[in-house]
Amino acid sequence: MSDPTGPDTPGPDDQRPGADHPELMVKESRRATAERISIIWIVPLLALAIAIGVAWQNFSSRGQTIDITFANAEGISVSETELRYRDVTVGAVEKLAFTDGLEKVVVTVRVEPEVEDYVDSSASFWVVRPEVTAQGVTGLGTVLSGVYIQGSWDNDPGGLQREFTGASQAPLNAIGRPGLKIRLRAAAESGLTGNTPIEFRGIQVGDLGEAQISDDGTTVEANAIIYEPHDKMISSATRFWDSSGISFSIGASGAEVNFTSLSSLLRGGITFSSVVSGGQPVEQGSTFTVYSDESTARATAFREEEGDTLSFSAIFDDNVPGLAPGSAVTYGGLRIGSVKAVNGTVEPARFGDDKVRLLATFEVDSGLLGLPAGGIGSDTGSDATSDAGVSTSGTGTSGTGTSGAGTAGTSDSTTPQPANSGQQAIAFFQEKVKTGGIRARLATASILTGGLKIEMVRMPDAPAAEIDMTGSPNPLFPTTASAITDVSATAQGVFERINDLPVEQVMQSAINIMNNVSRLVGGDDMQAVPGEVRGLLGDARGFVASPQLQALPGRLDGVTEQIETLVQALNTRDLAGRLTEAMAGVTEVARSADTAIAGLPQLLDSLNTIAAKAETVPLADLAQTLDQLMTSADTLLAEPGTQQLPQSLSEALDELRGVLTDLRNGGAVSNLNQTLASARSAADSISDAAQDLPALLNRTETVLTQAGTTLQGYDANSGLGRQAGQTMREIDRAAAAIAALARELERNPNALFFGR
C-alpha cells in the first residue's frame, strides 16, 4: 500500500517546530470474514421473517372475492363500505368498476372465509340507505356510519358463487323467518300496494313484497309470506282484502264510515279471514286474490273459482248521464260485472236516424253466475259462435289458493284455457236471451248521487231478440226500456203537493181553536174547577177516614167467618146430598104429571066434537045427559086423589117458602131438614095422584062420549039448547086453560113449586 503523502508533503513530525523524524511506512491490516459478521444483524432478519410470515398469513387466510352488480354505486366507497349479514361485518368492498357499456356498476367484495361457502345461488344483496316511507324510517344508523351492503342467504352451504345481481331494495323475508310463501293477486279493477304488512285482527302476521305487473298486464301481483305459527290459519277458505284507507257507504241502515286501524290508514295493509269452515291446507306458492273490501271478499266464499270474463256492448236509446266506468252490472239483484267504457254512438244504418245513443261496454264474470271457467254447459251452440268476435279473458284468479295437483283453486294467468270456453259462455247467455227474455236496461243505482247501473232483467213480453255476434269489437246485447227514477221530477212533485196544501186555512183553523181554548180556560166555570176538585178530594179523604169505612174490613172478616162456619156445617150434615135426593123425587113427579097431561089433547078433541054436535041435540036428551055428566063430574071431584092434589101442592109450596125464609133468617140446617121431609111427602102424594089420573081421564072420556050420544036428540034452538051451548063454551074455555097449564108444566115443571 503506497503512502498517501507525497515527498513534498510534510509529515506530522515535520510540522512540529524543531522536529526531525524519519519517514514511517503505514500498512492496513485485513480481518477475517467471521470477524466481520455481527450478531446484531439477527434482529432485523428476524423482524423481516416475522413480517413476511404475517403477510403470508394474511394473504393466505383472506376470503375470496365476489362481484355484485348494482344500478349505481351511490354511497359505496372502496375499503370503507362493509358487507354485513345480520348486522355483523363479513366482508368489505375492494374495487369498483363498470360493466361493458358503462350501464351498471360492478362492486367487488371480499368475503370472510367462514361464510363464503354459504354465499351460494340463494344469496341476495342490496344497499342499505336511510329511507323514510309510510311504513316508517329505515337505515337510520347509516346516517353516521355510511351505507353498507346487506347480504341474505340460507343456512345450507352450497359453495361460493362469484357473480350476483344486487336488488334495489330489501327482499321479502330478509331476516329469514320460517313461514308460508304465497302469491297475492289484486282483483279486477283493484290495486295492490307493495311492501305493506299483512294483518289478522290488527296484529301483523306477515309481509307483502314489492308489487309487480302480471305477465299479461291485466292485474298487479306480489309475493307475500305468513310467518309461523300463523301460517296454519291459511286454507282454501281464506279470503284476503285491502284494509287500507277509509270506506264510506250509504245503505238502508244509514251512512257508515269504516277503517281497520290508524296504522293501516297511514301505511296501508292487507288482512284476511277464513270466511267459511272446512278449508283445505294450501302449499307453498299458492295464489290468492286480494279484494277491494271485506264484503266483496266474503261474497266469494262459496265460489270454487272465478269464471271467464265476457265482454259485451249494449246500445241504449236513453242517452242520460249517470252511467260511468265501474258502474255495476247486476242480474237478479246480484252484481255479476262492471261497466268498462261509456261512449255515444250514431248508427243510421241500424236505427234509421241520426240520434245519439248511449253505447256501454261491460264485462260479466261467469263465475258469479255459478258457471265454471274453462267450459260452460255443453258444446251446444259453439259452432254458432266460432266465427264471431267473442271477447273473453280467463282471469285465472282464485280466492282459494292453488299450487300443485289436487289443490283447490285456479291455475296461473298464463295457463292456457280451452279454446271454446268463451264460446260456450256466449252460448249460455244466448239461450237465456232467446228463451228467457233476458234484456239489459239502465236503472237507478243511487237516488242521492244519480248514478246508474246496468240490469239484466227478464222481460216475458219482450219481442224476440238474440245477442248480435257480429258486433264489433264485442257481441251486442239486446236492451229494453230504462227504469230510471227521476229524482228532480219526484222532488218537484213533492213541492207542488206542499204548495197545494191549504196552509192558510189550516193556520186560521188552528188560531180559532186556540182562541176557543183560551176562552174555555179563562171562563169562570173552568177557574172554579180546581177549587171543586180540592173540595171533592177533601170529601173523599173524609169518607175514607170515616169510622164506618174503617170498621168495614173487620165486619167483612166476621161475615166471611160466618159463611165458612155455615159451609162447614152444611158439609157436615150432608145437606147438599139430601137436597139432591129431594129434587130427584120432584123431577120424577113432574115426569108422571107429563104422562098424565099427555092425554089432555085427546080430551079436548072430544070436547070440541061434543060442542059441534050440541047445536043439533034435543034439549030433553041434553038435560039428561048433562045430569049424567054432572054426576060423573061430582064423582071425579069426589075422588080422594083429586081432592088431595091441590092440598099437597099447596103444602109443598108453603114448606119450600118456609125453607127459603129459614135460610134467610138463620136456622138453615134444621129448617132445611124439615122442608126436605115435607117435600118428600108431597112428592109421594103427587105420585099417588098421578097414578090415578089415567083412570080418571078414561072415565071422563066415557062420560063425554055418553053426553055426545044424548045431545044428538036435543034441539039446538030451544032454551035448553042455548043453555047447553053456553055450558059447552065454558067447558071449552076450561079445557083451553087446562091445555095452557099443561104446556106451561111441560116447559117448566118446577113452576108447580116456585111459580113462574
Residues in the chain: 756
Burial class (CB in 10 A: 0-12, 13-18, 19+), 535: exposed
Same-domain check for residues 329 and 452: yes
State percent of the chain over pLDDT 90: 10
**Number of domains present in the structure of the chain:** 5
pLDDT of 670: 55
More reliable by pLDDT, 627 or 41:
41
pLDDT at 2 over 50: no
| Cα diameter, the chain | 253
Mean pLDDT of the chain: 72
Task: Give the per-residue pLDDT at 434.
Answer: 86
Tell me: pLDDT of 655 over 90.
no
- pLDDT tens digit string along 664-700? 565 555 544 554 555 455 455 555 554 555 555 555 5
pLDDT, greater one: 756 or 520:
520
550: in domain: no
pLDDT band of 214, cuts 50, 70, 90: confident
pLDDT-derived band at 524, boundaries 50, 70, 90 = confident
Report whether the peptide linkage leading into residue 7 is cis, meaning its omega lies within 30 degrees of zero: no
Q: Are residues 210 and 108 in the same domain?
A: no
Q: Does 128 or 735 have the greater pLDDT score?
A: 128
104 and 184 in a single domain? The answer is no
Q: What is the pLDDT of residue 400?
A: 46
Residue 729, CA distances (Å) to 572, 610, 732, 742 in order = 58, 11, 5, 20
Residue 192: closest CA among 238, 240, 234, 154: 240
Q: Are residues 331 and 455 in the same domain?
A: yes
Span 408-459, pLDDT tens digits: 333 333 333 444 445 666 777 788 888 888 888 888 887 767 788 898 888 8
| Cell numbers describing residue 415 | 295457463
DSSP 8-state code for residue 100: G
Q: How far is CA 67 from CA 70, 100, 125, 253, in A?
A: 10, 14, 11, 63
Co-location of 262 and 285 in the same domain: yes
Q: Which domain holds residue 127?
A: 62-171
Integer Cα distance of 534 and 392 in angstroms: 90
Q: Does residue 394 fall inside a structural domain?
A: no
Instruction: Kindly state whether residues 316 and 438 are assigned to the same domain.
Output: yes
- At 150 the three-state DSSP class reads strand
pLDDT higher than 70, residue 512:
yes
Q: Which of the residue ranges 288-297, 404-413, 531-540, 684-693 would you say has the lowest mean pLDDT? A: 404-413
Q: Which residue has the higher pLDDT, 472 or 264?
A: 472
pLDDT surpasses 60 at 197 = yes
Instruction: Report whether 356 contacts 348 (CB < 8 A).
Output: no
Per-residue pLDDT band at 28 (split at 50, 70, 90): low
Look at residue 93 and tell me whether its pLDDT is greater than 90: yes
Residue pLDDT, tens place only, 337-389 = 888 888 888 888 888 888 888 888 888 877 777 665 544 333 333 333 334 34
Nearby residues of 504 by Cβ (< 8 Å), 6 or more positions away: none
683 assigned to some structural domain: yes
Last residue of a domain, one of 243, 273, 302: 302
Same domain, 661 and 608: yes
Task: Give a yes or no: residue 467 inside a domain.
Answer: yes
Confidence of residue 716 (pLDDT cuts 50, 70, 90): very low
Q: Report d(CA 209, CA 223) in Å as an integer.
A: 5
Question: Which cell numbers in the block locate residue 634?
Answer: 061430582
Residue 610 reports pLDDT greater than 80: no
Residue 40 maps to a domain: no
166 and 178 in a single domain? The answer is no
**Domain annotation covers residue 711:** yes
One domain, residues 239 and 293: yes
User: Which residue has better confidence, 213 or 446?
Assistant: 213
Confidence at residue 94, expressed as pLDDT on a 0 to 100 scale: 92
First CA to last CA distance, the chain: 198
Last residue of a domain, one of 636, 665, 694: 665
Are 747 and 688 found together in one domain? yes
C-alpha cell at 475: 257481441
The domain boundary, picked from 485, 519, 539, lies at 485
Q: What is the pLDDT of residues 544-594, one digit of tens each?
A: 787 877 777 777 777 788 777 777 766 665 555 665 665 665 566 556 555
Whether residue 393 has pLDDT greater than 70: no
Asked whether residue 9 is domain-assigned, the answer is no
Give yes or no: residues 117 and 264 share one domain: no
- Residue 617 located in a structural domain: yes
CA separation for the pair 135, 43 (Å, rounded): 63
C-beta of residue 703 within 8 angstroms of C-beta of residue 632: yes
Q: What is the mean pLDDT of residues 66-78?
A: 92
The percentage of residues in the chain with a pLDDT greater than 70, rounded to a whole number, is 57
Q: Which of 581, 691, 597, 605 is nearest to 644 (CA)?
A: 691
Residues 428, 333 within the same domain: yes
CA atoms within 13 A on the CB side of 224: 34
How much is the pLDDT for 370?
65
Q: pLDDT category, 662, cuts 50, 70, 90?
A: low
